Amino acid sequence: MKIGELSRRSGVSQRRLRYYEQQGLLTSERAPSGYRYYREEAVTVVAQIRNLLAAGLNTEMIRTVLPCARGELPVLEPCPNLVATLRTQLAAIDDRLACLQQTRTALATYLVATDR
């Protein structure tokens, strides 16, 4: 299928599909005319990419995790570096949550002080 059809079927812009391809997340074959042609499973791959992005993974991490994803939603199978990649991401989320909690506490303290 051409990029326009993949865009319609996946709900992702053509520009973003090209970006996924530049990042090594999505593959296509080139016709002599220069058109990109995608296999049928590209629709599922794009859905997996979107789910992994929504989970907070960056494209570099997705490149590691994507070969382990199977099916419409990312059902992960053990593969090299998968556990380490996911643990790294989880630790980063925990760090951000701790920072946000500190910021929230500081703001709440300021609000209490201004109410006096």
Q: What is the CATH number of the domain that holds 25?
A: 1.10.1660.10
Tokens 């058109």 -> residue: 35
Per the confidence metrics, is the pTM higher than 0.95?
no
Among 11-25, 29-43, 53-67, the minimum mean pLDDT is found in 53-67
Q: Average pLDDT, stretch 5-29?
A: 97
Q: Is residue 89 a contact partner of residue 61, using CB atoms and an 8 Å limit?
A: yes
Helix axes 14-22, 42-54, angle to 10 degrees: 80
Q: Average pLDDT, stretch 58-71?
A: 85
Q: Is 101 left (phi over 0), alpha (psi -120 to 50) or beta?
A: alpha
For residue 45, the model assigns a pLDDT of 93
Six-digit token string for 69: 């994803």
- Domain residues for 12? 3-114
